[in-house]
A and B are shown apart, each in its own frame.
Chain A
Amino acid sequence: MAGSLSVDLVASGPRPDPRASPGDARPAQRTRLIRWALLRLGGVLFVLWAVATVTFFALRLIPGDPAEAILGGPGSQASVEALAQARAEYGLDQPLFTQYVVYLGHLATGDLGTSYALRDSVASVILVNLGPTLLLALVSLITALVIALGLAVWSTGGGRIAAAVGSLLEIVAAAVPHFWLAISLILLFSTTLGWLPPVSVPGPLGLVLPVLTLAIPLAGFLGQVMREALLDAMESPFVLSARARGEGDGGVFWRHALRHAAIPAIGLVGWAFGSLISGAVVVETIFARQGLGRSLLSAVQGRDVPLVIGVVLVVALAYMLVTTLTDLADRLVDPRLNRATR
């Protein structure tokens, strides 16, 4: 998906659907923002419920007996009594609809169930793992934005050759798979140079390679979009009029063009967060780093259904929070959007 998200998404990206807010006489801007926020909140709740429902019923399609999975898979040779006991313990002997209602009730109170494999509450497993992953994602996002901006500025300001090199670098960076980049970085910085640890150790030193692995491909995507926005902005009438007023290159760039490069980048932050979470699955596994991605992968491999549901729900919630926040930030940076919503 990521490849298709380069430019087109910015145009059709997370803009509010005009139909979502019925047109009427122009109310005050504040009321409009509040109504937008309420609609958004309703949307988020609806999507969460739908995600929970889809996940619940989809995982019931898994062939095989869930009670067997609880007791360690088909190879465990569990006795009939043990299976019956596991079924009773996890409520699997109830009708499907009852299970669904009980599950929704538990979700509403924040109870995500018990992991089959870890014998621990899913909520506590997620709480332990959420922090490291969020830290990794946040630092990677900031690093990626810095690299992307640097590349975009350098390649727009440096003439034809810089533009060609910059855009090639961005495309190659965006094409590099996380696992290969991770392996290459380990090879260079750990095996050959011996500067950095090949596995994630506590402290900032252990964060360097995982962050670089996540940030470089992301910077490639963001850089492509930001460079195009910068180029558009530099050729626009307001830059011309700023120059006519006698502003220098630096002033034009920092005060006018940069703001326009920020708009598509902000719009992409929600998508970037999603790609960082998928990347975290790979990166946390390679660097043996604790986190949500690695928990998710081991839960997928072990078919630990409650843990998979829990992680998916938490990621979906976080993703929607991020996209809502970026929409809000979009409206603050780009006042045209508020006026455009009829």
Chain B
Amino acid sequence: METAALVVIAFLALAALAPSVLAPGDPLAISPLDSFQPPSLSHVFGTDESGRDIYTRVIHGTGPSLLIGIAATAIGLGLALVFGLLAGFGPRWLDFGTTRFLEVLFAFPGLLFALLFIVIYGPGVVTSTIAVGLSTAPGYARIIRSRVIQVRTSPYLEAALVLGRGRPSRIARHVLPNVAGSLFVLATLGIGQSIVWASSLSYLGLGAVPPAAEWGAMLSAGRTYIASFWWMTFFPGLFIVLSAAATTLLGRGIQQRGRES
């Protein structure tokens, strides 16, 4: 199953880095005469209301859609790392303060924090990406904090302390490498979910807007025609599911391997 996940991820990576190899057409080229064509040999995924080829758009949308997911995860993990290190490595009052702060953030479950952020800074690709990143941060921070505490109390860190290593050196040489494994697993598991969330925001009209070739925006545009032209929403959604499932599978595979070794 992991092999299948790797194949899907390789395909998505190719589509993201070199979309023209897989789909030579222009994702924005309109052709009103060909509008609403069902899937056929010339249009594998059919066409949309302006006659744009859905396959081309889905392939060209891979880059932006994945980038949003990766950027959101990076924002979330970056913040979480700062919080986790402050809480796990700082003095006791700082741990107390950070933990309480995280508890407050936890009280905004799921998309709630993202919606609040969008109310303040307005809808758009950048704000929705930051919003998703921010709402994932507390969950990561809690896991990283417990990992940091686990490392801090380990014998080798005590040895480093006895050897007279300073705090920056202990963090850089011992804590970070040991937390990196968990970070990597969290990142692979998180990217899929970030893509799903960001595309949900696009679907609600709070993220990327049509005619951009982004999966969520394509779904949002296709929703008007859902009853008659199912292919406009089905295929972009399929790619979201594929990428989310593939990254999750890979993340779980890595996690399993880490646990066995």
A binding-site residues for B, Cβ under 8 Å: 1-9, 11-12, 17, 19, 43, 46-48, 50-51, 54-55, 58-59, 61-62, 164, 167-168, 171-172, 174-180, 183-184, 186-187, 191, 198, 271, 273-275, 277-279, 281-282, 285, 296-297, 300-301, 303, 305, 308, 312, 315-316, 319-320
Contacts of A273 in B (CB 8 A): 109
**CB pair B112 A278 closer than 8 Å:** yes
Interface size class of B (residues with CB under 8 A): 35 or more
B120 touches A278 (CB 8 A): no
B234 interfacial by beta-carbon distance below 8 Å: yes
Verify A186–B204 contact, CB threshold 8 A.
no
Kindly report which residue of chain B lies nearest to residue A303, judged by CB atoms: B119
The smallest beta-carbon distance between B1 and chain A, in angstroms, is 6
The 8 A-B residue pairs whose C-beta atoms are closest, nearest first, are A274-B109, A278-B110, A180-B237, A3-B193, A175-B244, A278-B111, A175-B245, A316-B107
- Alpha-carbon distance between A273 and B116 when the two chains are bound, in angstroms: 18
Binds A, one of B19-27, B132-140, B154-162: B132-140
Q: Which of B1, B120, B136, B234 contacts A184 (CB 8 A)?
A: B234
* B112 and A176 contacting across the interface, CB-CB below 8 Å: no
Given contacts A8-B143, A179-B199, 14 further A-B contacts (CB under 8 A): A1-B136, A4-B186, A4-B190, A5-B139, A6-B189, A7-B255, A54-B104, A178-B200, A179-B200, A179-B237, A183-B219, A183-B226, A183-B234, A282-B200
Alpha-carbon distance between A266 and B97 when the two chains are bound, in angstroms: 27
Assess the A277–B112 pair: CB atoms within 8 A.
Answer: yes
Which of B109, B237, B247 touches A319 (beta carbons < 8 Å)? Answer: B109
Q: For the complex formed, measure the closest distance between the CB of B247 and the CB atoms of chain A, giving whole angstroms.
A: 8
- The interface centre, meaning the residue of A46, A278, A282 with most chain B CB atoms within 10 A of its CB, is A278
Considering only residues 127-173 of chain B, those with a C-beta below 8 Å from chain A are 135-136, 138-140, 142-143, 146
- In Å, the complex CA distance between A312 and B135 comes to 14
Query: What CA separation (Å) do A274 and B135 show in the bound complex?
Result: 12
Q: Which residues of A contact B200 (CB under 8 A)?
A: 177-179, 282
In the bound assembly, the distance between CA atoms of A171 and B146 in angstroms comes to 26
A3 to B146, CA, bound (A): 18
Report whether B139 and A1 are in contact in the complex, using a CB–CB cutoff of 8 Å. Answer: yes
Residues in B with CB closer than 8 Å to A184 are 234, 237
CB nearest neighbor in A for B187:
A4
Chain A residue contacts of B118, Cβ below 8 A? 300
Nearest CB in chain A to that of B100: its residue: A46
Contact string, B187-199, partner A, CB cutoff 8 A, digits 1/0?
0011111001001
